[in-house]
Amino acid sequence: MKIATWNVNSIRTRLSYVKMFLVDNGIDVLSLQEIKTEEKNFPFEEFSNLNYFAYVFGQKAYNGVALISKSPFKEVKKNILNDGIARTIEGQIDDLTILNVYFPHGGNLGSEQFFYKLEFYKKVKNYILKNDLINKNFILLGDFNIAREDIDVWDKDLLDGTIGFMKEERDALNDLISIGLIDAFRYFHGDVVAFTWWDYTGGSFKRNYGMRIDCIYVSKSLVGRLKNCYIEKSLRALDKPSDHVPVVLELI
DNA sequence: ATGGTGGAGCGTCCA
């Protein structure tokens, strides 16, 4: 089973690439962030034509998450933090609980958005604990907007203290995963420097000035089923790409 | 300090 996550930065602009990615990689479940559209404008038909189901929590212009899957989800919960912001969608499929989160960007240190981001991390952690998801076959994936380790950024000294790599943020992410979540990419590639996001500006992709901020975390019960985890970097080199690329998890 | 690029959707805001 192949489960992927991708911040597409507008589903309508990236639709052809998303369809290509699903087919080329034989993806079973795709978790999308920043679809940037309301549900009423989501291209449901394009996915049903490919024999995929789509579950959408959308919002006008900003945010927006979705789950795309070959077989139907048994249950889907949107808005799990009850904040009305289209950043969370969770579903049950087979024996898995999959929680797709678009974590806040965070603005700058000390800004209102920065504290919102740290609070958001606590709320997701509490939600997982409250619902005992950590003791289920649980997958937390999405755009975390935080690089956790030094090897998750292109220059740890230059980026020290900047958004996405501040101590307070890394502490928040470490605190979240301390409840028993395993970084699937790191499980297979312990010391590999690899990124999932490159800024649009300044030729960042060509220079490989990136960060690994899109991740797939699994609960301990799934460790024995991990088969592979990879980053589909080639999609960043296409014309009019998203600034993020997909991460793919293969489960036995 | 600014601007560098991109998306939504027509004002700017957000990343």
- Write out which nucleotides of chain B lie closer than 7 A to a protein Cβ: 3-9, 11, 13-15
Residue A213 half-sphere exposure toward CB, CA atoms < 13 A: 28
Q: What torsion do the CA atoms of A167, A170, A174, A176 make, to the nearest 10 degrees?
A: 110
Q: Which residues of chain A have pLDDT under 50?
A: none
Amino acid, res. A111: S
With CA of A35 and C1' of each nucleotide, the nearest comes out as B7
**Per-residue confidence (pLDDT) for residue A40, from 0 to 100:** 96
**Per-residue confidence (pLDDT) for residue A168, from 0 to 100:** 96
Give tens-digit pLDDT for A167-184.
999 999 999 999 999 999
The listed CATH number (3.40.50.2300, 3.90.79.10, 2.160.10.10, 3.60.10.10) that belongs to domain A2-251: 3.60.10.10
Q: How far is CA A129 from the centre of its chain?
A: 20
What is the distance in angstroms measured between the alpha-carbon CA of A136 and the sugar C1' of B9? Answer: 42
What is the distance in angstroms measured between the alpha-carbon CA of A201 and the sugar C1' of B6? Answer: 9
* Spatial contact of A43 and A71, defined as CB atoms under 8 Å apart: no
What is the distance in angstroms measured between the alpha-carbon CA of A244 and the sugar C1' of B9? Answer: 22
What is the distance in angstroms measured between the alpha-carbon CA of A28 and the sugar C1' of B2? Answer: 45
What is the distance in angstroms measured between the alpha-carbon CA of A61 and the sugar C1' of B8? Answer: 5
Strand B contacts (CB < 7 A) among A residues 124-183? 145
With CA of A143 and C1' of each nucleotide, the nearest comes out as B15
**Per-residue confidence (pLDDT) for residue A110, from 0 to 100:** 87
Could you tell me the pTM of the whole model? 0.97
Per the structure, the residue whose CA is closest to nucleotide B14 at C1' is A62
CA distance A146 to A174: 10
